[in-house]
């Protein structure tokens, strides 16, 4: 029997239900949700099972993670096969989506990935479309929580281009791409969900 391609991330098991609760009031009743950097696929599998009125398009640049995503989502008719997508690329394989979701990416990628994510979301979302980001952030002029400070230091040791991003810097990036100011939802373990909308 072949090896099970499903990968598992302990953090995904912990945060998938809080993320669902944060997103549920803001996602559209129907349409396509494009998830950028779907990782193991555990988030999209959980969200798609809970919100069957939406179609879900997971994406992930890593071949093994795409296999994991497809395995986790097997049997979910509202999840499309995972596509390769580099958030920083000028062209994405999806031309339109009703919402864009990105969980735990921009702190473990160069800033160019955040820039590409926001620019890509601006290209594919209609007026009123939602860009939702989840993860740990810093707030300008405020000390970081001890756990986030330690995590940020560890990330920067691993790669100087990584690290927790300022909410304000992400908001400025989004505003330059035509998004409104973020809704900020406090999450467990000192994480945040940021909700940006295209005007319309």
Q: Tens digit of pLDDT for each residue in 40-94?
A: 999 999 999 999 999 999 999 999 999 999 999 999 999 999 999 999 999 999 9
CA dihedral of residues 121, 162, 24, 18 (deg, nearest 10): 170
Gyration radius of the chain's alpha carbons: 16
Tokens of 99: 């919402």
Tokens of 102: 């990105």
DSSP assignment of 28-95: -SSEEEEEES-TTSHHHHHHHHH-TTEEEEEB-S-HHHHHHHHHHTTT-TTBPPPB---TTSS--S-S
User: Is residue 159 packed enough to be buried (19+ CB in 10 Å), middle (13-18) or exposed (0-12)?
Assistant: exposed
Looking at the DSSP bridge assignments, the partners of residue 138 are 166
The length of the chain is 200
- List domains and CATH numbers for the chain: 10-197 (3.40.50.150)
Q: How many CB atoms lie within 10 A of CB 116?
A: 20
pLDDT at site 108: 97
Q: Using CA of residue 78, residue 10, residue 59, residue 105, what is the dihedral sign? A: positive
pLDDT at site 3: 86
Tokens of 104: 């735990």
Residues of the chain predicted below pLDDT 50: 1
pLDDT at site 1: 41
Tokens of 196: 């940006």
Q: How many CB atoms lie within 10 A of CB 72?
A: 26
């Amino acid at each position: 029997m072949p090896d099970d391609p499903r990968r598992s991330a302990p953090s995904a098991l912990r945060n998938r239900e809080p993320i669902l609760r944060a997103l549920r009031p803001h996602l559209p009743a129907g349409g396509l949700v494009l998830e950028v950097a779907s990782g193991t696929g555990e988030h999209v599998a959980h969200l798609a099972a809970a919100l069957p009125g939406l179609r879900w398009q997971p994406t992930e640049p890593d071949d093994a993670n795409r296999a994991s995503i497809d395995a986790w989502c097997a049997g979910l008719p509202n999840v499309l096969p995972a596509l390769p997508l580099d958030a920083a690329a000028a062209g994405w394989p999806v031309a339109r989506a009703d919402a864009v979701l990105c969980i735990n990416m921009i702190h473990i990628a160069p800033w160019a990935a955040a820039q590409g994510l926001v620019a890509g979301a601006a290209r594919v979302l209609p007026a009123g479309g939602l860009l939702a980001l989840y993860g740990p952030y810093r707030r300008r002029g405020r000390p970081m929580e001890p756990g986030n400070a330690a995590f940020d230091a560890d990330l920067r040791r691993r790669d100087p281009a990584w690290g927790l991003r300022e909410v304000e810097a992400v908001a400025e990036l989004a505003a330059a791409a035509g998004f409104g100011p973020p809704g900020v939802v406090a999450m467990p373990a000192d994480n945040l969900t940021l909700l940006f909308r295209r005007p319309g």
